[in-house]
């Protein structure tokens, strides 16, 4: 079966076309995905949503243009099934029906504006398929443009999840982060992150985590920086682990760079230049607080290149 999956978030829209194949691992048959096409476009759909509550027309235009590209690829590669999932920015927007109608016209399918809980479950499924399970509870967090999902689970499945409204685009716009970011800007982003973690903690027992997996563009960009890569290399990044201290230092360094310095980094996507300061700050703060909540049991993070996009594809099998 060939499936198509589209993840439309606050900052980016991504496409995965993959074949489901059966492999035998230790005598057990296992269904896995084999990539045919994997694409990403930074469209900043969530531009201004935190302040206005509406999707901007120019943001819709960028997103619809990318969707037309994806429609052509899906046609060329003959996907048997396609699922389109929209997340934080679209949930929050007063004019989301304009978005829904536009996507339906372009792709011929109904876009699903999913809840934060479902977003978290799909992220968990995609992430653990790539990096496996550890001993005890695994906490997967997906730091996006408008929201961050926390999901705790083990091999038996998801135990608890919560979506909170912090993300690299939302907090960049809320606190007018400059490049380089100022100490007061960083402090405000950290304060919002702390507040969001307390909200998440009411639903998800974060203190029970014994392994932490981070997914999405902020985490993988920080990983590329920590590894000192000259260019983005997903194979080098996937399943790599980093100490909390390494993430803290790398995040501070990225936030301290000016726009030109960020643009010159070979692994930095142009659409992430403006928001990496806030994203890296949120990321480091989450790990710092998890380290404190678990009394030091969480002292590192594993980065997964596979996330909600893979979860969307897997959900169709």
CATH code for the domain of 220:
3.30.420.150
Q: What is the pLDDT of residues 99-155, one digit of tens each?
A: 999 999 999 999 998 887 788 788 888 888 778 777 789 999 999 888 899 999 988
Residue 21 has pLDDT above 90, yes or no: no
Structural domain total, the chain: 2
C-alpha–C-alpha distance, residues 180 and 186, integer Å: 10
pLDDT of the residue at 64:
97
Query: CB–CB of 234/305 below 8 Å?
Result: yes
Task: Give the CA distances from residue 266 to residues 138, 255, 273, in Å, rounded to whole numbers and listed in that order.
Answer: 32, 17, 12
149 and 277 part of one domain: yes
Domain termination site, one of 82, 114, 146 = 114
183 and 68 part of one domain: no
Give the structural domain span for 35. Answer: 2-114
Residue 26 has pLDDT above 90, yes or no: no
In a domain, 204, yes or no: yes
Q: What is the pLDDT of residues 27-83, one digit of tens each?
A: 777 778 899 999 999 999 988 888 899 999 999 999 999 999 999 999 999 999 999
pLDDT band at 266 (very low <50, low <70, confident <90, very high): very high
Of 282, 269, 292, residue with least CA distance to 14: 269
110 and 135 part of one domain: no
152 and 299 part of one domain: yes
Structure tokens at 291: 């380290």
For residue 125, give every residue at least 6 positions away whose Cβ sits within 8 Å of its Cβ, in sequence order, or none. Answer: 310, 311, 314, 315
pLDDT of the residue at 236:
95
Q: Strand 241-243 to strand 81-86: parallel, antiparallel, or no bridges (unpaired)?
A: unpaired
Residue 177 has pLDDT above 90, yes or no: no
In a domain, 11, yes or no: yes
33 and 139 part of one domain: no
39 and 152 part of one domain: no
CATH code for the domain of 88:
3.30.420.40
89 and 182 part of one domain: no
C-alpha–C-alpha distance, residues 119 and 86, integer Å: 9
Domain termination site, one of 47, 79, 114 = 114
C-alpha–C-alpha distance, residues 52 and 144, integer Å: 19
Q: Strand 241-243 to strand 300-304: parallel, antiparallel, or no bridges (unpaired)?
A: antiparallel
Domain termination site, one of 79, 114, 149 = 114
142 and 290 part of one domain: yes
In a domain, 125, yes or no: no
C-alpha–C-alpha distance, residues 180 and 274, integer Å: 10
In a domain, 296, yes or no: yes
Query: CB–CB of 297/244 below 8 Å?
Result: no
pLDDT of the residue at 279:
96
Beta bridge partners of 212: 139
pLDDT band at 25 (very low <50, low <70, confident <90, very high): low
In a domain, 315, yes or no: no
DSSP designation for 272: G
pLDDT of the residue at 183:
95
Q: What is the mean pLDDT of residues 74-98?
A: 90
């Amino acid at each position: 079966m060939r499936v198509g999956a589209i993840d439309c978030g606050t900052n980016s829209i991504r496409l995965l076309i993959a074949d489901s194949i059966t492999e035998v691992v230790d005598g057990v048959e296992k269904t896995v995905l084999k990539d045919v096409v994997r694409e990403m476009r930074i469209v900043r759909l969530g531009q201004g949503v935190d302040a206005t509550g509406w999707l901007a027309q120019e943001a819709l235009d960028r997103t619809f243009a990318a969707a037309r590209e994806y429609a052509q690829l899906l046609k060329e590669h003959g996907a048997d099934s396609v699922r389109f999932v929209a997340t934080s920015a679209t949930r929050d927007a007063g004019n989301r029906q304009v978005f829904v109608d536009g996507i339906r016209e372009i792709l011929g399918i109904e876009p699903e504006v999913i809840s934060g809980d479902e977003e978290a479950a799909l992220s968990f499924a995609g992430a653990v398929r790539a990096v496996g399970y550890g001993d005890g509870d695994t906490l997967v967090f997906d730091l996006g443009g408008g929201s961050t999902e926390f999901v705790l689970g083990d091999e038996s499945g998801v135990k608890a999840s919560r979506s909170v409204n912090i993300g690299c685009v939302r907090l960049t716009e809320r606190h007018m982060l400059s490049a380089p970011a100022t100490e007061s800007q960083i402090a405000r982003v950290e304060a919002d992150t702390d507040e969001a973690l307390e909200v998440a903690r009411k639903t998800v027992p974060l203190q029970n985590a014994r392994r932490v997996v981070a997914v999405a563009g902020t985490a993988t960009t920080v990983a590329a920086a920590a590894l000192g890569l000259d260019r983005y290399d997903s194979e080098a990044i996937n399943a790599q682990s980093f100490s909390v201290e390494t993430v803290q230092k790398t995040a501070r360094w990225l936030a301290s760079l000016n726009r030109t310095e960020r643009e010159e980094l070979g692994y930095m996507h142009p659409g992430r230049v403006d928001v990496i300061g806030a994203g890296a700050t949120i990321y480091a703060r989450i790990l710092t607080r998890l380290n404190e909540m678990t009394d030091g049991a969480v002292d590192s993070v594993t980065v997964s290149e596979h996330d909600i996009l893979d979860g969307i594809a897997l959900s169709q099998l």
